[in-house]
Structure 1
């Protein structure tokens, strides 16, 4: 056996404890973890767009099961982490959870419960929203792009925007958004994207103009997917020194729920938010010893909603004591 520092979640509180971990080759048959970062947004009066973060790389799963209340709605393959749930009732609040099923058939625990309320149906509405304004965008490294577009108008209001890659719908965001991040792309590939607006009556606008973006070739350092405004300071309490970290999560469609911290060139710990993960500035503090005058080097990276690790932040150096 070997021992490791692992985070324990109590609500949204993160604690580090020393615990035993099976060594390589030890059996276990562990169930897959609960999917995190689950969000639900109404797509129309009769549909909801559900997203979640893929479970960590290296976890052998067969797929995800989606539940509305206690009723299983559907199951999707392991490579997918979003779904449009249709044939819902207008003006109704729905509750959803997602569970991962392991390759051996075991069903893991449910992720956080999320709610979405469909808007009221609009009688005799046959007018589609206007075409979204000309889209633009930029590549974010080799695996993602960020898209922007002009707002559509509708006599009853735009409920959502759908993003298409070629002729396939790949994502959806709420009607108040005019930007999205598409992840899970391949390096050095030229992609074509369009955007369409949808109203409460499920009327779909004409496609926007096409924006073509090329991801960076080869593996990159992930700078575009790294946390920003990373800061590190130190304080002393009860005779011990602590590192105080703060950062802004990287831009991503979905919720960043997990971070990895490197200390002095080695992985120190992973942080997992069990409650509501911070969308703006995040902060974390951890123990580094009782000796003054010790300089530590620290950096941080995020696990993106598509299950892959983003790039590291710039490394900061901080010295304990006065």
Structure 2
């Protein structure tokens, strides 16, 4: 698993006056190396929360990208710790919640030395309204299909299940183990963090607000590609780069559509002229349909630059690059 660069930049207009390649000022740069004797714990990555029913939320995450040893994970609802789990577990159903209520979850890792690492990004979820006397399970999802997307990801699609009260979520299983969950309006999941050249078997079940679970769909069997290739489905789509002049200087404006990973994409690496320039991170609400970012590039007209970016995947690794775009200031 690749290490997240130690420099991050939160999108904020007040920092536009700093050169992207210098990244100074505004108090937004952080150094996660910490200067300690051993590797410092970083936050768990790829955290998602999906309402599983009116009274439960399925929280998923991946291990921090630091190499520090981990003994346990702690799941927080707001400021309250609700679950403590062993290091090999990366998902949990938080139950006993209120229907039609908004919750915020974070996850923290505890190191072998007892140190509690930083909190993950905050993820927000709202449970659906409760239903009374619902004992009917949804129908089984039909038409499950899938394809390998490079060496470490697969894409699954299926037809909607039906339910007399409505489907709240779909649970994805690898064999008999639930490994992923998406909302009831979705019929696609991108599963990442898989092993190259490995055979997998997946199925899907539908769940309603009363926690009734459908029979399993048919099983689809897929084998990931050999090598280390990131699948094209993990790359940002419709990537555009333009320049503009404002206040006597030039800026590069980026726009793109996030890859459909089944959850929010909280971070992107921006590469300028072949080198990583910064990591752009969103907080609690990452854009889902369209993303934009703008940065100062200098005062010289006629300067030519190449720019591309890639997204952080749910397993904390980085997906495939967008196409590289070339821009020239003053044009």
Match of 2:126 among 116, 132, 135: 116
Match of 2:226 among 181, 204, 217: 217
Q: Contact 2:75–2:81 (CA<8 Å) still a contact in 1?
A: yes
Q: Contact 1:187–1:218 (CA<8 Å) still a contact in 2?
A: yes
Measured at CA, do residues 268 and 79 of structure 1 come closer, stay the same or move farther in structure 2, by a change above 3 Å?
Answer: farther
- Give me the whole-angstrom Cα distance separating, in 1, the residues matched to 2:111 and 2:166: 42
Which residue number corresponds to residue 68 of structure 2? 60
Measured at CA, do residues 65 and 321 of structure 1 come closer, stay the same or move farther in structure 2, by a change above 3 Å?
Answer: same
Q: Which runs of 5+ in 1 are unaligned?
A: none
Q: Contact 1:54–1:305 (CA<8 Å) still a contact in 2?
A: no
Deviations along 1:22-72, one digit per CA (max 9) or x if unpaired, are 7989427786455566443321233211234654x2353624311234432
Which residue number corresponds to residue 203 of structure 2? 194
Q: Contact 2:7–2:30 (CA<8 Å) still a contact in 1?
A: no
Which residue number corresponds to residue 24 of structure 2? 18
Displacement of 1:170 in angstroms is 1.0
Measured at CA, do residues 284 and 79 of structure 1 come closer, stay the same or move farther in structure 2, by a change above 3 Å?
Answer: farther
Displacement of 1:319 in angstroms is 1.2
Displacement of 1:103 in angstroms is 4.4
Deviations along 1:55-107, one digit per CA (max 9) or x if unpaired, are 4x235362431123443221335565432123445555544332333444322
Measured at CA, do residues 312 and 9 of structure 1 come closer, stay the same or move farther in structure 2, by a change above 3 Å?
Answer: closer
Match of 1:312, SS state, is coil
Q: TM-score, normalised by structure 1?
A: 0.85
Match of 2:233, SS state, is helix
Displacement of 1:156 in angstroms is 2.6
* Higher relative strand content: 1
Deviations along 1:86-131, one digit per CA (max 9) or x if unpaired, are 34455555443323334443224433252432531432x3332212
- The Cα RMSD (Å) is 3.1
Displacement of 1:139 in angstroms is 1.6
Measured at CA, do residues 209 and 315 of structure 1 come closer, stay the same or move farther in structure 2, by a change above 3 Å?
Answer: same
Q: Contact 2:33–2:40 (CA<8 Å) still a contact in 1?
A: no
- Give me the whole-angstrom Cα distance separating, in 2, the residues matched to 1:273 and 1:109: 16
Q: Contact 2:169–2:208 (CA<8 Å) still a contact in 1?
A: yes
Deviations along 1:204-260, one digit per CA (max 9) or x if unpaired, are 221111111221211115433111111111112222222111111112022111111
Displacement of 1:298 in angstroms is 1.2
Aligned length: 317
Match of 2:251, SS state, is strand
Match of 2:180 among 168, 171, 175: 171
Match of 2:51 among 42, 53, 59: 42
Q: TM-score, normalised by structure 2?
A: 0.83
Deviates more, 1:294-303 or 1:8-17: 8-17
Measured at CA, do residues 216 and 291 of structure 1 come closer, stay the same or move farther in structure 2, by a change above 3 Å?
Answer: same
- Give me the whole-angstrom Cα distance separating, in 1, the residues matched to 2:268 and 2:111: 23
Deviates more, 1:140-149 or 1:113-122: 113-122
Q: How does 1:103-252 map to 2 (within 5 A)?
A: 103-110=112-119, 111-112=121-122, 114-123=124-133, 125-252=134-261
Measured at CA, do residues 141 and 49 of structure 1 come closer, stay the same or move farther in structure 2, by a change above 3 Å?
Answer: same
Displacement of 1:7 in angstroms is 4.1
Which residue number corresponds to residue 319 of structure 1? 328
- Give me the whole-angstrom Cα distance separating, in 2, the residues matched to 1:93 and 1:313: 34
Q: Contact 2:55–2:127 (CA<8 Å) still a contact in 1?
A: no
Q: Contact 2:7–2:31 (CA<8 Å) still a contact in 1?
A: no
Match of 2:151, SS state, is coil
Is 1:282 the counterpart of 2:282? The answer is no
- Give me the whole-angstrom Cα distance separating, in 1, the residues matched to 2:195 and 2:291: 29
